[in-house]
Amino acid sequence: MPGTGQNLLADTTVKLARQTNARIQGLIAQAPDLQARYETARKIIRAFRRPSFYEVSQKCNLWCEGCYYFENDKRQVVGNEMSDDGWDAFFAAEDDRGVSMAYLVGAEPSLYPHRLRAATKNIRYGKIGTNGTVVIPRDISFRIGISVWGNETDDAVLRGGSVLRKAMRNYTGDPRAVMLFTLSPWNLDSVGDVLKAAEDHDVKLTFSMYSATTSYLAKLTAGTAADSKYFRLGPSLARAVFTDADLAKAHEAMLDAMQRYPDTVIFSAEYADLITRPGPLYDMDPETGLPLDCGSRIRDPLRYFDTAGTQKQVKCCTPDVDCNHCRLYSGSWSKLFKPTQKHLADQGSFEGWLSMIETIGQIFLYPFPFESTA
């Protein structure tokens, strides 16, 4: 009978949701103090109910080694970008579609403030991914995630300029800003310098992990000669993928940072365990070669639009990154929205899950904590 399979799936999903809810209520009955935290967690999760990615820029002012955007041989340049009026109308329509969360990505979104402003006027929550070298005007009230690749020396080598210093100067004390420190096998020794700079400039900081593109890894494997663009250092750098020893070092650095800079670092010990686990982080589909459980996969309700306003069928917002080595923060954070049996095993693991969801709120939502509506 047509539809039977779908009905069965819907029944199973409803049954699972009921079981999950019953388990959570049981845990809260044992520890009533957790009720308020759970309500906040639900509110955070609701903010992501209809998310969408928007590529608002095809240009960048930096030359980062192994750039996830430009070091992609298959990337197609969009020739018919929307006009300013077009962006206004586009985001108004996205609001009508019920989009609750906008991820504004590029290349470098800060080069197009009008596009960012059009989004902020229409969509409730948003997160802009920027390199921090160009100030995003204060009236653009979205969370701003600033990519940091290391200290001054790392910047000069890896990004072709003094990025950290400019970003810190631009965002000193800015409540919208969160430095997204991308740990890589190349910068594990400079973590302390970056933390100190963040604390000195009163800017929050969290961690992601460098994840190489397939194009970059293929060049390394083939022994391709260095070029003058995004593969300047490849042949001379030790490695682009974390070894198990690197992962242990990164894990230690994350926990140490949380302990030493509790007012600056936004992170979670449970998440540090998860993101630095050796081996692939995701369950890969042998047929498609794509991860089954990555929260950043572009599938309903998550959509991805290019600068012409065209919806694209891409696997995620960094389509050339190799899923087998991917440790980017977005995919792993967003797979946590549905608690697993492990998260609900006992009060301790439930609190760990709540703490991870609260961390998501701090990293992705602005303003956060939520403003009182009373």
- Measured from the CB atom, the residue of 126 and 129 that comes closer to ligand SF4 is 129
Among 56, 101, 107, 354, binds ligand SF4 (CB under 6 A): 107
203-262 binders of ligand SF4 (CB under 6 A): none
Contact region for ligand SF4 (CB under 6 A) — 48-56, 187-195, 196-204, 310-318?
310-318
Contact between 296 and ligand SF4 by CB under 6 A: the answer reads yes
Peptide bond into 291 cis (omega under 30): no
Q: How far is the CB of 325 from ligand SF4 (least distance, A)?
A: 9
Contact between 158 and ligand SF4 by CB under 6 A: the answer reads no
List Cβ<8 Å contacts ≥24 apart for 267-272: 267/206, 267/207, 267/359, 268/352, 268/355, 268/356, 268/359, 269/352, 270/352, 270/353, 270/355, 270/356, 271/332, 271/333, 271/356, 271/359, 272/207
Contact region for ligand SF4 (CB under 6 A) — 11-19, 114-122, 239-247, 324-332?
324-332
Among 315, 333, 336, 353, binds ligand SF4 (CB under 6 A): 315
Contacts of residue 236, defined as CB under 8 A and 6 or more positions apart, other chains included, come to: 226
CA pair distance 241, 247, nearest whole angstrom: 10
Task: Give Cα 347 to chain centroid, integer Å.
Answer: 28
Q: How far is the CB of 138 from ligand SF4 (least distance, A)?
A: 22
Beta strands in 113-218 (DSSP E): 125-130, 143-148, 177-183, 204-209
CA pair distance 139, 187, nearest whole angstrom: 34
- Measured from the CB atom, the residue of 186 and 282 that comes closer to ligand SF4 is 282
Among 109, 234, 291, 339, binds ligand SF4 (CB under 6 A): 291
Contact between 184 and ligand SF4 by CB under 6 A: the answer reads no
Among 70, 87, 210, 366, binds ligand SF4 (CB under 6 A): 70
Contact region for ligand SF4 (CB under 6 A) — 265-273, 322-330, 333-341, 344-352?
322-330
Determine the size of the site formed for ligand SF4 (CB under 6 A).
25
The 325-344 contact track toward ligand SF4, x by CB under 6 A, reads -x-x--x-------------
Contact region for ligand SF4 (CB under 6 A) — 41-49, 193-201, 291-299, 338-346?
291-299
Task: Give Cα 70 to chain centroid, integer Å.
Answer: 18
Q: How far is the CB of 53 from ligand SF4 (least distance, A)?
A: 11
Contact between 323 and ligand SF4 by CB under 6 A: the answer reads yes
Among 67, 101, 148, 275, binds ligand SF4 (CB under 6 A): 67
Buried-exposed string 199-230: b where 16+ CB fall within 10 A, e elsewhere: bebebbbbbbbbbbbbbbbebbeeeeeeeeeb
Is residue 60 within 8 A of residue 106, CB to CB? The reply is: yes
Contact between 24 and ligand SF4 by CB under 6 A: the answer reads no
What is the chain's length? 374
- Sheet of 204-209: strands edge to edge? 204-209, 177-183, 143-148, 125-130, 101-105, 51-55, 303-305
Q: Is 89 exposed, middle or buried (0-12, 13-18, 19+ CB in 10 A)?
A: middle
Contact between 282 and ligand SF4 by CB under 6 A: the answer reads yes
Write out the residues near ligand SF4 by the rule CB under 6 A.
Answer: 60, 62-64, 67-70, 106-108, 131, 282, 291, 294, 296-297, 315-316, 318, 321, 323, 326, 328, 331
